[in-house]
């Protein structure tokens, strides 16, 4: 009698385990199907939105905003680690974003002789030019976000609206500079705590750069798109975009290292290589935006169905 009861219990447990396995299999298949839908829709948005044209516009604005943003970054970093150390730290910090050619261009900008003393008006004017140039870049980035999200062109706003838009853009610039300074500060602390000859310093530096990029993109995805994203949507979109940027920068570094693109243009080589690097970085950024749009739309559709 006891043996029959035990056999029935064992059979019931097997049935329950099989049903649980089937549920897990169905759940995995559903998630894979959702991921496939997100990827297919991402490809559709990349094709529809003419990402190459938008990336070219972003690269153009980035190149012309590079010098003022570098000097603002240098000023902010100097408050953290001092002027001399800030110069080398700024070059090292922009290398993951602009590549070796971009870092060479930034180093050349920082080596340009600067006056030892400047009037308050001159300093204020320089900061104003830097902020206006960087604000123009963020304004172009916002227009790119609108285009990638399929948002209709917004009507021209009045003077107050113009001021509010620029206040938001300048606020984003200042937030970027704070994140940039934080990245320099943490990397400086890593170099002090971890021996230079150890590979851990390089790994920790890459992790810090990735996390700072992730947080910055999450902030951009929260404020710039025409659609209000919840925190989960912004974080996942920013994480995928950060991975795409890291992979793209690695591949572009290999390509530029072997193609000798910069050397083919003589003295303008570093600038040309920087422009190519920035263009493909903008391309990866826009692909990340397309993914974020696809993921957000499908996620919200699934929530409505459930």
Name the H helices within the chain. 2-48, 51-81, 83-111, 120-148, 159-193, 199-223, 231-259, 269-305
What does the pLDDT profile of the chain (306 residues) look like in tens digits? 555 555 554 665 666 656 666 676 767 788 888 889 999 999 999 988 888 888 888 888 777 777 666 776 676 666 666 666 777 777 776 666 666 666 777 777 666 655 544 455 655 666 677 677 777 777 788 888 888 888 766 655 555 565 666 666 666 666 666 666 666 556 555 555 555 555 666 677 677 778 878 888 888 888 888 888 888 899 999 999 989 888 877 777 676 666 665 556 666 666 777 777 788 888 988 999 999 999 999 988 887 766
Radius of gyration of the chain (CA): 25
Token pair belonging to 48: 């529809």
Q: Are 216 and 260 in contact (CB under 8 A)?
A: no
Q: What's the whole-model pTM score?
A: 0.73
Q: Are 244 and 51 in contact (CB under 8 A)?
A: no
C-alpha distances out from residue 274 to 249, 253, 255, 283, Å: 12, 11, 13, 14
Q: What is the pLDDT of residue 42?
A: 93
**212 Cβ neighbours under 8 A, 6+ residues apart:** 179, 180, 182, 183
- Mutual angle of helices 159-193 and 83-111, in 10-degree steps: 120
Q: What is the DSSP letter of 268?
A: G
The span from the CA of 270 to the CA of 254, in Å, is: 16
């Amino acid at each position: 009698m006891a043996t029959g009861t035990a056999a029935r219990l064992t059979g019931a447990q097997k049935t329950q385990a099989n049903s649980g396995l089937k549920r897990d299999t169905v759940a995995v298949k559903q998630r894979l199907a959702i991921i496939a839908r997100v990827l297919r829709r991402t490809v559709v948005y990349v094709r529809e939105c003419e990402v190459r044209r938008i990336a070219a516009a972003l690269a153009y604005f980035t190149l012309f905003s590079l010098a003022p943003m570098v000097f603002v970054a240098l000023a902010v970093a100097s408050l953290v680690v001092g002027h001399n150390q800030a110069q080398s730290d700024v070059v090292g910090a922009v290398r993951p974003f602009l590549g070796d050619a971009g870092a060479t261009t930034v180093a050349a900008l920082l080596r340009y002789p600067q006056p030892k003393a400047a009037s308050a008006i001159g300093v204020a004017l320089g900061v104003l030019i830097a902020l206006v140039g960087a604000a123009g870049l963020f304004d172009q980035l916002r227009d790119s976000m609108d285009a990638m999200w399929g948002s209709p062109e917004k009507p021209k706003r009045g003077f107050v609206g113009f001021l509010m838009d620029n206040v938001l853009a300048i606020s984003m610039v200042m937030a970027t500079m704070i994140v940039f300074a934080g990245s320099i500060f943490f990397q400086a602390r890593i170099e002090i705590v971890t021996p230079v000859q150890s590979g851990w310093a390089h790994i920790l530096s890459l992790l810090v750069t990735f996390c700072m990029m992730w947080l910055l993109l999450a902030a951009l995805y929260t404020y710039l798109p025409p659609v209000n994203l919840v925190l989960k949507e912004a974080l996942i979109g920013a994480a995928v975009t950060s991975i795409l940027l890291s992979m793209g920068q690695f591949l572009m570094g290999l390509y530029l290292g072997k193609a000798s693109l910069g050397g083919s243009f003589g003295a303008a080589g570093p600038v040309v290589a920087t422009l190519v690097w920035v263009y493909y970085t903008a391309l990866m950024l826009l692909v990340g935006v397309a993914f974020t749009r696809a993921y957000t739309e499908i996620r919200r559709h699934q929530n409505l169905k459930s």
